[in-house]
Structure 1
């Protein structure tokens, strides 16, 4: 199963180019708030595990906790989001803004406020299940939060360049359990396939961790970095990459 998963990941990234493994531990998304390269930062509350090597600043993490970042309204339904559910989304935003371990999954994005996003990052099933369980009884009105909200109405942001999200017309507020059905669908759909539900027995990312014990996501990123960095740089041709995928698939049987 691991071999099949690695082969699929290689197919996704076979067209990407990296200068080498040395760039992977410090690669940050090209977004609105991320730094150009990771480094030590004093970070706020739940974002603190990334403080030794972070792609975000203290100000960004403070905005995450205060609900100011991107002017995104988590309380888009009449029932306010529970504290435990909001805490999980804060952890998710901390990962998105602060993690230096996402280089193997970076793809280009055409939104005005960012040039890149991450796609199909393997999220450990236990982390996804815990996130979904804490939000299952909370309410939302759409499944894909990246695409489906109406941003044309509501109060303008302080810089006058964006609007606050609101529920699409004809949508209905229902529980997360009713909207998504299960944890896998929730984690993979809510941010438009940023996450990939992945068994804990496979290499997978932790949404949150105890920073005093190091960053467990370093090893996961490095495992994929060997695939991403070596295949394109050593071959630069489709034939060798295809042979590598074939070998991985063959070894799975």
Structure 2
């Protein structure tokens, strides 16, 4: 009977220990978390100042993970040959200028932001080994983005996973490339029909890169004017210290459990 009780107790402790270990991130080093460039195709190794960045990416030039060349491609072409007008074949309509503006801002954030460290997870893709996951996006920014795109068209809700990537001669660079096409049999519908709500849109479009977060909570701004400091610096700091604290708690918890187990087995 005592042996069975011991086994149940040890199983419980193992679960608690695993939960404590799960509190950690790729690192708990605050300096690293606050100066993180994704391990991906176009990102720099570390953030730093840039002499200039292009158009909507300009605000990040004081401390950026991107180069001017990449930001120019975001506006004039696409670093990944991504086709935002993937519903032209059904609707004959290109993405509206206002909607595309928000996607460019989102892309600038992805390439340039040094504030994603607290949300980075590993990923195995040919063009990146890391991504950010559930980064808190301010609700007002998400709502503005969705409202600007509500009447534009798409054929799938998850743009990271559901498109078919095929060779095309219609790339803006006038050379053959691989670009995204709607899944076979998919109908083009408005963003409002596909996503229903701003929260569903922001969280699903890039496979949960973003988490819809009330403005009253610490949250990231998709874009800022660049005249003042990057507002996301403080947000990243909030979550970095939260992770560091959780890691410390996890270590203390593991030590406490080890001592309890030792006492339990001795007595």
TM range (shorter): 0.7 to 0.9
Aligned length: 232
Q: How many Å separate the matches in 2 of 1:176 and 1:154?
A: 25
Match of 2:63 in 1: 53
Q: Kindly state the Cα deviation for residue 69 of structure 1 after the two structures are TM-superposed.
A: 1.4
Q: Kindly state the Cα deviation for residue 97 of structure 1 after the two structures are TM-superposed.
A: 0.3
Match of 1:90 in 2: 104
* Stretches of 4+ aligned residues off by more than 4 angstroms: 10-13, 237-242
Q: How many Å separate the matches in 2 of 1:241 and 1:126?
A: 43
User: Secondary structure at 1:48's aligned position in 2?
Assistant: helix
Match of 1:145 in 2: 159
Against the structure 1 CA distance between its residues 76 and 238, is the aligned structure 2 distance closer, same or farther, given a 3 Å change threshold? farther
Aligned 1:214-225 pairs, distance under 5 A = 214-225=229-240
Q: Is the 8 A contact 2:169 2:176 kept in 1?
A: no
Which of these residues, 113, 116, 119, is aligned with residue 127 of structure 2?
113
Q: Is the 8 A contact 1:13 1:105 kept in 2?
A: no
Q: Kindly state the Cα deviation for residue 20 of structure 1 after the two structures are TM-superposed.
A: 2.0
Q: Is the 8 A contact 2:20 2:250 kept in 1?
A: no
Q: Kindly state the Cα deviation for residue 178 of structure 1 after the two structures are TM-superposed.
A: 0.5
Are 2:144 and 1:130 aligned?
A: yes
Q: How many Å separate the matches in 2 of 1:201 and 1:39?
A: 30
Match of 1:192 in 2: 207
Q: Kindly state the Cα deviation for residue 66 of structure 1 after the two structures are TM-superposed.
A: 1.1
Q: Deviations over 1:101-157 (max 9, x none)?
A: 000000001111100000000000000000000000000111000000011353498
Against the structure 1 CA distance between its residues 216 and 190, is the aligned structure 2 distance closer, same or farther, given a 3 Å change threshold? same
User: Secondary structure at 1:70's aligned position in 2?
Assistant: coil
Which of these residues, 27, 31, 40, is aligned with residue 40 of structure 2?
31
Which of these residues, 242, 248, 253, is aligned with residue 227 of structure 1?
242
Match of 1:208 in 2: 223
Pairwise CA RMSD = 2.5
Match of 2:78 in 1: 68
Whichever structure has more strand as a proportion of its residues is 2
Q: TM-score, normalised by structure 1?
A: 0.85
Q: How many Å separate the matches in 2 of 1:11 and 1:182?
A: 35
Q: Deviations over 1:64-116 (max 9, x none)?
A: 01132100000001110000000000000000000000000000011111000
Match of 2:6 in 1: none
Match of 1:5 in 2: none
User: Secondary structure at 1:131's aligned position in 2?
Assistant: helix
Against the structure 1 CA distance between its residues 117 and 240, is the aligned structure 2 distance closer, same or farther, given a 3 Å change threshold? farther
Q: How many Å separate the matches in 2 of 1:107 and 1:192?
A: 13
Q: Is the 8 A contact 1:231 1:241 kept in 2?
A: no
User: Secondary structure at 1:123's aligned position in 2?
Assistant: strand
Looking at CA atoms only, which structure, 1 or 2, has the larger radius of gyration? 2
